[in-house]
């Protein structure tokens, strides 16, 4: 599932393609959207704005499209008349002069009145966007100690979108490793320094992933691996998807187990369990 950095990069591409230009082509094959076709003709897309893993498409006619890619959704921007992607179901196609954006395979797609978004059942529950430029380590540290979060294991907390919106499986793994925290720790067990390290890793790695297209490994080390012939997937991460391979810090084999129904990788040496 795409995480916050991937959704924000998609929003950047979509904005570059069609933002601020009147729509000249509207195709809505998804039955739940069809009735909005006439309202979108000649409308202008004001902006694509992400919140966590959701994407909001704001139009100048008072409508906003809410979409969540979930596992299979994908936004594409391409030229008008380009072939459709194979193996995916087209949900919508919006075109300006020369450019078209398409949404495929997403199941959670719905138009809302823009001024009613404050009542959206998913958006109202979301925590701050991990890529919000105003989000600080202090604010994240303080949220850790709120009653609803302080007794959750870190392995569960970092997938909880009401805590921080936009974190997912690979960011959870990488944040805990960089902060040197085992997923079994709970915020109330952490020292002030440990909470700061967790908050700093969450901000730093999420922003780095956005800036680099998905790399959370130390940039210098990633570049060295790349020069040695490593593929993109092989020089992206500290430990995610590296089960059985040596930790870059201590050479201990990376372990993996299920936490919250998702794969979570960890180094038993760098991330010791809390002492009960």
Q: Where are the domains of the chain?
A: 4-125, 137-266
Instruction: Classify residue 254 as exposed, middle or buried by CB count within 10 Å of its CB (0-12, 13-18, 19+).
Output: buried
User: Can you give the pLDDT at residue 73?
Assistant: 87
**Do residues 34 and 43 make contact, with C-beta atoms less than 8 angstroms apart?**
no
Assigned fold of 137-266 = Helicase, Ruva Protein; domain 3 (1.10.8)
What token pair was written down for 221?
Answer: 């080390």
- Catalytic residue, chosen from 2, 5, 50, 128, is 2
pLDDT at 166: 96
* Number of Cβ atoms within 10 Å of the Cβ of 36: 18
Residue carrying structure tokens 């969450």 = 202
Query: Is residue 200 within 8 Å of residue 207, measured between CB atoms?
Result: no
Contact 131, 207 (CB under 8 A): yes
**Catalytic residue (one of 3, 6, 76, 93):** 3
Which tokens go with 194? 């440990």
CATH class of 4-125: alpha beta
Active site residue: 139, 249, 262, 263, which one? 262
**The two three-digit tokens of residue 144, written as one number:** 């850790």
Q: Provide the whole-model pTM.
A: 0.93
Radius of gyration of the chain, Cα coordinates, nearest whole angstrom = 21
DSSP string, 200-233: HHHHHHHHHHHHHTS--S-HHHHHHHHHTT--TG
Spatial neighbors of 163 by CB under 8 A, at least 6 apart, are: 127, 143, 149, 157
Quick one: which H or E segment has residue 46? strand 45-51
182 closest CA partner among 239, 267, 276, 242 = 267
The answer to whether residue 39 is catalytic is no
Name, in order, each residue with C-beta under 8 angstroms of 97's C-beta and a sequence gap of 6 or more: 21, 24
If you count them, how many residues does the chain have? 276
DSSP 267: -
pLDDT for the residue numbered 72: 83
Predicted confidence (pLDDT) per residue in 176-189, tens digit: 999 999 999 999 99
Query: Is there a catalytic annotation at residue 3?
Result: yes
Distance between CA atoms of 53 and 165, rounded to whole angstroms? Answer: 7
Identify the segments of the chain with pLDDT beneath 50. Answer: none
pLDDT computed for residue 259 by the predictor: 81
6, 8, 53, 93: the catalytic one is 53
pLDDT, residue 276, reads: 64
Q: Answer for the pair 26, 38: CB distance below 8 angstroms, yes or no.
A: no
Q: Which residues of 113-133 are buried (b: 16+ CB within 10 A; e: fewer)?
A: ebeeeeebeebeebbbbbbbe
Give, as one character, the DSSP assignment of residue 82. Answer: P
């Amino acid at each position: 599932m795409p995480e916050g950095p991937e959704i924000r990069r998609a929003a950047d591409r979509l904005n570059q393609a069609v933002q601020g230009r009147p729509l000249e082509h509207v195709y809505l094959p998804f039955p739940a959207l069809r009735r909005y076709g006439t309202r979108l003709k000649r409308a202008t897309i004001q902006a694509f704005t992400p919140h966590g893993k959701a994407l909001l498409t704001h139009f100048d006619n008072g409508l906003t499209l809410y979409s969540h890619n979930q596992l299979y959704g994908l936004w594409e921007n391409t030229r008008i008349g380009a072939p459709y992607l194979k193996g995916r179901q087209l949900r919508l196609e919006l075109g300006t002069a020369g450019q078209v954006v398409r949404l495929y395979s997403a199941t959670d797609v719905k138009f809302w009145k823009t001024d009613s978004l404050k009542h959206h059942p998913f958006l109202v529950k979301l925590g701050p966007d991990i890529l919000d430029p105003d989000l600080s380590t202090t604010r994240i540290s303080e949220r850790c100690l709120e009653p609803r979060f302080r007794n959750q294991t870190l392995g569960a907390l970092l997938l909880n979108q009401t805590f921080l919106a936009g974190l997912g499986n690979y960011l959870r793994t990488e944040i805990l490793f960089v902060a040197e925290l085992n997923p079994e720790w709970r915020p109330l067990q952490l020292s002030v320094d440990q909470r700061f390290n967790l908050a700093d890793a969450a901000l730093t790695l999420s922003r780095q992933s956005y800036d680099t297209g998905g790399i959370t490994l130390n940039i210098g080390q990633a570049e060295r691996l790349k020069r040695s012939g490593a593929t993109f997937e092989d020089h992206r991460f500290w430990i995610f998807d590296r089960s059985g391979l040596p930790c870059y810090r201590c050479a201990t084999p990376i372990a993996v187990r299920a936490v919250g129904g998702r794969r979570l990788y960890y180094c038993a040496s760098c991330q010791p369990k809390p002492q009960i």
